[in-house]
Every structure is written in structure tokens, then in C-alpha cells.
Amino acid sequence: MRDLAFLVPGPIDQLTGGYLFDRRIVEGLRASGRQVEVLELAGRYPDADAAAGGAATAALRGLPDRSAAVIDGLALPAFADCLAKEAERLRLVGFIHHPLALETGLTVTESRHFAEVETRLMPLLRGILCPSRRTAEAVASYGVPASQVAVVPPGTEKPPAASARKRGGGPLHMLAVGTVTPRKGHLLLIEALSRVKAGDWRLTCIGSLDRHPETAAALRAAIARHGLGDRVELLGERPPEGLSQAYRQADLFVLPSYHEGYGMAYAEALAHGLPIVATTAGAIPDTVPADAGLLVPPGDTEALAAALSHLLEDPGLRDRLAEGARRAGAALPDWAEATRLWASAFDRLAA
């Protein structure tokens, strides 16, 4: 008998932080003996086209009365026409990685539309699971009572040991892990690096180049325009098991996101003992402590270039931040702990 249904927009094996979080929770729940049915919804998300709305409605209508189910927040707008009715007979909980209205690159009209939809739909759910305090605060701004919100950070896959790095000769290797979309700040990173004159460095970017083709094309053009083709490598997606080697080979992690609901890539960098250059946006300051990285205002090219130059030129600072990263990474929950906390919170909210 099903314990709960997990509704996700499209295939759950997609290689983004949100889908990885979904998948690891499902795997952990099943490993603990719970019966979890994954319902992969067809359609285009987060835009609620006809296919998405039809799939969402059919999925909920197919669940028996009093069934417990979790809805990934990326799919929430697709339930606009059926959620009020179905929420009366089902025990529905939202899994909001970050509000859709806060996505970078939206027009004012698009942002307002998502905010209106989320404001209307979130209070209909029995509760909301969030990965961070910052996301929980954003959810509360939609009128969801604090008692109906639970904060459960994701787990972190930790290497056997995050030992201190001993650099030899050659360039300093920087790593950026994140889907190439406006929110992740890849274009800003290239602009900042074009102003970094000192030091021998290389940048490897891992993340999908297909989810936002316009940004990927603009990124390639910026790399070519600044003559950085021999220094910047775009590898596209890599499976989670292939990322560990990239972290081990890196000297520094950098990702100047405009917003993060949590930031799993930053946590993975901490677990591997990497000093971090990032921004103060969203939940990043809660994930990356001050003694593990340099955080600059989001969108500030000059500040980002200065932070990168500082770390490139000061190996002692890199070492100190790496030590802070190792301490922070060691304190992060693993996936077994994250699953236990997630299950407990879900059961409380769904009850």
C-alpha cells in the first residue's frame, strides 16, 4: 500500500539540485521501508500549459481519498484549476525549493503572475517543506502560517576525507557547478574574470547547457569576446558520481548566483574543503559561513572580480578559507539524516 505519492514535473532523474533533492528523498524513504509512488507529470513547467494542467489534475484525481502526497514547487502552477477541490479530500504538502516568482530573468509581468499563483495556492496545502530559512521566510510572505512550514536542508554526499590541498605548479583551477540559466550568474562570472589580470587560472563549468539556450549562447559569446576560450571549459551536465572528481581536482569553487533557495553545489564544495566565492543572495550566506568563502553583493561585477583576484593572489587566504570549508562541510547532514528529518516533517504537516 502506498504511504505517499511524490508528484514531480517531468522525469525525476534530471540533473539539477532540486531534482536530485527529490530523488534522494524518494530513495531514502524507500530504503527505510516506506512505499513511495513517483508520479512524473507531463507538460511544460513551471508554465501551466494545457498538458501540464491536464496531467496535474489527472494525477490528483487518481489518488484515493485521504492519500498523502507531496507536490514539487516547480509544478505548483499546473494545479491552479484543481488544487482547491482536491486539497479538501487529500493530504497535500508542497516541497518548495524556492518561490518561482524569485527566479532571475523573469519580466515584471511573469514575476507578478507567479507571485499571484503561489499566493493563492500555497495556503491551500496542509504545509510547506523548505530547504532553508530564507525560503521559509519567502513562503511565509505568501500568507502561510509558520506552524505549516518546516525547514529541512538537503543532505550532502561527503568524500571519505576533505584533506588539505597541496598545490604544485600550474594554473589555479576554479570550478562552477550549476545549470546555465540567468539565475546562476555565469555571464557575470565571465565579465568578472575578464577583469582579473593577475595569476594563471582555469575555469571549468559543469551544468546543463540546454535548459536555457539563450543564456548558453550568450555565455559562449562572452567567452569568445573576452578571449577566454583557452581558459574556460563548458562541460555540460555530469552525473552526481562524476562530480566528485571535479571537486577533488579544483582549488576554488565559484558561482555568483542571483538567488538560491539553498545551494547544494555550495554544500558539496564545503564538503570537499574548497574555498568559495559566491554572493549574499538568498540562502547562500546560511550555507557558506564567513570563514569558508568570500561573499559579494549579487550582480556586482567589480566586487566579484576583486574577490577572485584576492584569492588568486593570496594562497594563505585560500588555505584559511579551505580550513573553514572543511569544518563547515563536516557539520552538514548526510542524506540518511536529511531523509529522517524530511519524513518526520512531512508526516507532521500531512497529519
Q: What is the CATH number of the domain that holds 176?
A: 3.40.50.2000
Residue 311 belongs to domain spanning: 172-331
Q: What pLDDT does 165 receive?
A: 58
Residues 339 and 323 grouped into a single domain: no
Distance (Å, whole) CA 351 – CA 15: 32
Q: Let me know if residue 82 belongs to a domain.
A: yes
> pLDDT tens-digit profile of 189-242?
999 999 997 778 999 999 999 989 999 999 999 999 999 999 999 999 988 777
Distance (Å, whole) CA 234 – CA 224: 12
Sequential DSSP letters for 256-292: --S--SS-HHHHHHHHTT--EEEESSTTHHHHS-TTT
Q: What pLDDT does 173 receive?
A: 96
Q: Stretch 267-271: mean pLDDT, rounded?
A: 96
pLDDT at position 314 over 70:
yes
Q: Let me know if residue 338 belongs to a domain.
A: yes
C-alpha cell at 217: 549562447
pLDDT at position 4 over 60:
yes
Distance (Å, whole) CA 148 – CA 144: 7
Residues 326 and 345 grouped into a single domain: no
User: Which of 106-115, 158-167, 292-301, 322-331 shows the lowest mean pLDDT across its residues?
Assistant: 158-167
More confident residue, 161 or 316: 316
Q: How many residues does the chain have?
A: 351
Cis before residue 240, ω within 30 degrees of 0? no
Compute the mean pLDDT over every residue in the chain, rounded to the nearest whole number: 93
Q: Let me know if residue 163 belongs to a domain.
A: no
Residue 168: pLDDT band (50, 70, 90) is low
Q: pLDDT exceeding 90 applies to what percent of the chain?
A: 84
Residues 257 and 345 grouped into a single domain: no
Measured distance between the N- and C-terminal CA atoms of the chain, rounded to whole angstroms? 18
Residues 117 and 256 grouped into a single domain: no
Residue 301: pLDDT band (50, 70, 90) is very high
Task: Could you list the beta-strand ranges (E) of the chain.
Answer: 4-9, 36-41, 68-72, 91-95, 127-130, 149-151, 172-177, 201-206, 232-236, 252-254, 276-279, 293-296
Residues 117 and 212 grouped into a single domain: no
List, in sequence order, every residue forming a beta bridge with 174; answer none if it has no partner.
203, 252
CA triplet 276, 327, 132: central angle to 5 degrees? 65
Q: pLDDT exceeding 70 applies to what percent of the chain?
A: 96
Q: Let me know if residue 61 belongs to a domain.
A: yes
Sequential DSSP letters for 59-93: HHHTSPTT-EEEEEGGGGGGGTTTHHHHTTTSEEE
Residues 92 and 219 grouped into a single domain: no
Report CA dihedral (63, 66, 72, 73) to the nearest 10 degrees: 120
Q: State how far the alpha carbon of 350 is from the alpha carbons of 112, 127, 129, 145, in Å.
A: 29, 7, 11, 15
Residues 327 and 338 grouped into a single domain: no
Residues 137 and 23 grouped into a single domain: yes
> pLDDT tens-digit profile of 104-117?
989 999 999 999 99
Residue 46: pLDDT band (50, 70, 90) is confident
Residues 203 and 273 grouped into a single domain: yes
Tell me how many domains the chain contains.
Answer: 2
Q: What sign does the CA torsion over 61, 31, 179, 271 have?
A: positive
Distance (Å, whole) CA 74 – CA 99: 8
Residues 206 and 306 grouped into a single domain: yes
Residues 266 and 141 grouped into a single domain: no
pTM value is 0.91
Q: Let me know if residue 146 belongs to a domain.
A: yes
Q: Let me know if residue 144 belongs to a domain.
A: yes
Q: Let me know if residue 165 belongs to a domain.
A: no
User: In 277-334, where does DSSP find H-type helix?
Assistant: 284-287, 301-313, 315-331
> pLDDT tens-digit profile of 89-104?
999 999 999 999 999 9
Q: Let me know if residue 164 belongs to a domain.
A: no
Q: What pLDDT does 163 receive?
A: 56
Residues 231 and 289 grouped into a single domain: yes
